[in-house]
Amino acid sequence: MDHRRSIFVTLACVLLGFGTLMVYSSSITSWPTEFESVYLSRHLLFLAVAVATGVVCAALPKRFWFDAAPYLFWGTVLLLVAVLIPGLGTRVNGAQRWLRFGPLSMQPSELAKIALPLFVCRILCQRKEHLAHWRRGTLPLVAPLLVLLPLTLLQPDLGTSVFLACGCAIVLFLGGWPIRNFLVSGAVAAPALAGLLILRPYQLRRVTGFLSAISDWNEAPYQLKQSLISLGAGGVLGVGLGRGWQKLSFLPEANTDFVYAVVGEEMGLVATLGLLVVWAGLFYSGWRMLSDLDQHDFAWLAGFTLLTQIVLQAGLNMAVVTALVPPKGIPHPLISYGGSNLVVTVAALGIIISLSRPAESGVAANATVRPIESPAV
């Protein structure tokens, strides 16, 4: 294995191991019970499935992802439609985002974080020569996003919808989409986003509460107050692993969305900054791993987009926990408890490794990952 891939895999394993430790610690309750052991056993099951999926994804040839992109995308669309059908989708806390299969459940919107970038990358490579044209270059590229966004917004899941839009924007920016198209799209999207916030008052209150907290701490949302208290209580070295008290019914979603706050309380500033350094190292090693590829190839475009998405999600989670952005349910990849996000994230890491391999010998192996000119539309 190339030393760059070795470093990449090692850093990913460090994050997975640290995540397992923090899932167990953040699940501990005020009374000694088997509660934390149940979470740990489930997480270990999710981890086993995730690693197996990642190994399979890494072993597949890079041209597989180009060929499979449409099937992954439309399969995800069908799953998102199924979630919204009464009796099939499961509603939790007012949101209908899960499909249950006996004791197991999955969140199809997580799968969209892989399916959408791969499909848009494929379309962009096929229509590289038409990016400046609205009908032949722009509409086919934004159409997949316009299909997925209504399905995620109906769940409702504004955070994932915005994240998917950002992922699509990353693909288009790396692929050379004209800046004027971004400006026009932003001008259209801004009023639509404002309208969604107005129609959903609880989401608007999150934003207004966050902005008010800048001048008046008493107006800060409860989650942010408890998160900052947790981080402050940890100081530089923390109160000790497993000894945090904020997770004992004070800090909401302690083992999922706000697990980074538990890291800060129990292991201090050293651990929170250390985790940030590991994520930076994963991004750098992934970028170096992909650096030998032609930046016009599907492989580089898709691999770098998936890598950026993963690190961006980690950064957004840390920004929420440290009150730099309004609170939103964004799990910390590889660290938070949750099966769907863990499996999809490790699968994405496997896809990045698959795409980073040198081109297979023979013209046929490279043909599907090279930009080609599509028929005129």
Interval 145-165: pLDDT, tens: 889 988 888 887 777 888 888
Residue 119 banded pLDDT, cuts 50, 70, 90: very high
pLDDT higher for 181 or 122?
A: 122
0.95 exceeded by the pTM? no
Q: How many CB atoms lie within 10 A of CB 334?
A: 27
Q: Which residues contact 207 (CB under 8 A, 6 or more apart)?
A: 197, 326
The whole-number pLDDT of residue 107 equals 86
Q: How many CB atoms lie within 10 A of CB 147?
A: 16
In this predicted model, what pLDDT tens digit does every residue of 5-37 receive, in sequence order?
Answer: 899 999 999 999 999 999 888 887 655 565 567
Distance CA 117, CA 164 (A): 9
Residue 186 has pLDDT above 80, yes or no: no
Residue 125 has pLDDT above 90, yes or no: no
- Alpha helices in the chain, H assignment, sequence order: 3-26, 35-59, 62-84, 108-126, 139-153, 158-174, 179-199, 201-213, 222-234, 259-290, 298-321, 339-356, 363-367
Closest CA to 17 of 346, 341, 334: 334
The answer to whether the CB of 361 falls within 8 A of the CB of 291 is: no
The answer to whether the CB of 290 falls within 8 A of the CB of 266 is: no
Closest CA to 27 of 228, 306, 334, 242: 242
The whole-number pLDDT of residue 28 equals 77
Query: What is the percent of the chain with per-residue pLDDT over 90, rounded to a whole number?
Result: 37
In this predicted model, what pLDDT tens digit does every residue of 353-364 receive, in sequence order?
Answer: 999 987 654 333
The whole-number pLDDT of residue 198 equals 59
Distance CA 218, CA 195 (A): 27
Distance CA 275, CA 336 (A): 13
Distance CA 47, CA 366 (A): 33
Residue 105 has pLDDT above 50, yes or no: yes
Task: Estimate to the nearest angstrom the gap between the alpha carbon of 73 and the chain centroid.
Answer: 16
The answer to whether the CB of 19 falls within 8 A of the CB of 278 is: no
In this predicted model, what pLDDT tens digit does every residue of 56-103 receive, in sequence order?
Answer: 999 999 899 999 999 999 999 999 998 888 877 777 766 778 787 766
pLDDT higher for 257 or 185?
A: 257
What mean pLDDT, rounded, does the chain reach?
A: 83
Distance CA 281, CA 299 (A): 21
The whole-number pLDDT of residue 178 equals 76
The whole-number pLDDT of residue 376 equals 35
The whole-number pLDDT of residue 363 equals 32
pLDDT higher for 212 or 78?
A: 78
What mean pLDDT comes out for the span 198-212? Answer: 64
Q: How far apart are the first and last CA of the chain?
A: 43
The whole-number pLDDT of residue 377 equals 32
In single-letter form, the type of residue at position 166 comes to C
Distance CA 174, CA 120 (A): 12
Lowest mean pLDDT among 60-74, 120-134, 158-172, 302-316: 120-134
pLDDT higher for 352 or 228?
A: 352
Residue 188 has pLDDT above 50, yes or no: yes
